[in-house]
């Protein structure tokens, strides 16, 4: 009797709700097909019906997750970003700090402002300069005027980066004993400085080596830090 019940439970699971692993696999498949559609045809000409067909899923499967093209595109962009953890780059240069006054606020770590900013900039640029991300960003840049939702998706990414850098700068100001009156403004300058350099490369189809990218980041961060006393 117990064996029969276990068998029925297995059948019900296989015929009903997918496992978390199956759901994740389906999600990745849908977003991969959608990304290919967006890159091949552009945002305006991309078709949800064609995505359903190419993904070999039902309309219900797609629309229950992404009711409109905007939602699907945002998910595609979010998945690309989630492949890395930008915030971890700010922690890659943390060192243990034995000073007890920092333990409660900074979890016993010492932030290195210069190296943290360089690490964040280098890794984000390296990721953004990959062919697939270049194509996604070119798509946003070329069609944002016709489709404001693309601009909103880009703005969300920007604000997320600003918030991360703002928090990092504020922590460093406390630890280093160097006040920062407006960490958000400094974070915005830093993010848009990186964005401007990247956009120039993207629009002019320039290629740079890793060494060239690192040299530019070093100069940019140094220039920003020169004015730290005025932050």
Q: Residues 121, 18: contact at Cβ < 8 Å?
A: no
The average pLDDT across 201-220 equals 94
What backbone phi and psi angles, to 5 degrees, belong to 50?
-70, -35
Residue 107 predicted with pLDDT over 70: no
Q: Read off the tokens for 196.
A: 């401007």
pTM: 0.71
pLDDT of residue 62: 92
Residue 137: pLDDT band (50, 70, 90) is: confident
The predicted-structure confidence for 44-101, as pLDDT tens digits, reads as follows: 889 999 999 999 999 999 999 999 988 898 888 777 766 665 556 665 544 433 344 4
Residue with the larger pLDDT of the pair 110 and 145: 145
Domains (range + CATH), the chain: 1-83 (1.10.10.60), 84-231 (1.10.357.10)
Residue with tokens 């990247």: 198
DSSP string for residues in 8-33: HHHHHHHHSSPPHHHHHHHHHHHHHH
């Amino acid at each position: 009797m117990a064996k029969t019940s276990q068998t029925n439970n297995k059948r019900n699971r296989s015929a009903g709700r997918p496992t978390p692993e199956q759901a994740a696999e389906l999600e990745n498949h849908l977003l991969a097909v959608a990304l290919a559609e967006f890159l091949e045809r552009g945002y305006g000409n991309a078709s949800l019906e064609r995505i359903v067909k190419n993904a070999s899923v039902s309309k219900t499967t797609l629309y229950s997750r992404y009711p409109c093209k905007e939602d699907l595109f945002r998910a595609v962009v979010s998945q690309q970003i989630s492949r890395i953890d930008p915030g971890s780059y700010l922690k890659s240069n943390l060192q243990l700090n034995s000073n007890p006054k920092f333990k409660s606020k900074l979890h016993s770590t010492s932030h290195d402002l210069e190296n943290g900013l360089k690490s964040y900039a280098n890794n984000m640029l390296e990721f953004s300069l990959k062919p697939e991300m270049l194509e996604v960003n070119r798509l946003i840049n070329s069609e944002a005027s016709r489709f404001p939702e693309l601009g909103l998706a880009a703005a969300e990414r920007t604000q997320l980066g600003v918030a991360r850098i703002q928090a990092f700068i504020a922590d460093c100001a406390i630890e280093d004993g160097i006040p920062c009156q407006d960490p958000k403004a400094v974070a915005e300058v830093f993010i848009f400085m990186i964005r401007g350099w990247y956009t120039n490369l993207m629009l002019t189809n320039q290629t740079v080596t890793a060494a060239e990218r690192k040299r530019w980041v070093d100069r940019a961060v140094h220039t920003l830090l020169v004015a730290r006393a005025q932050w």
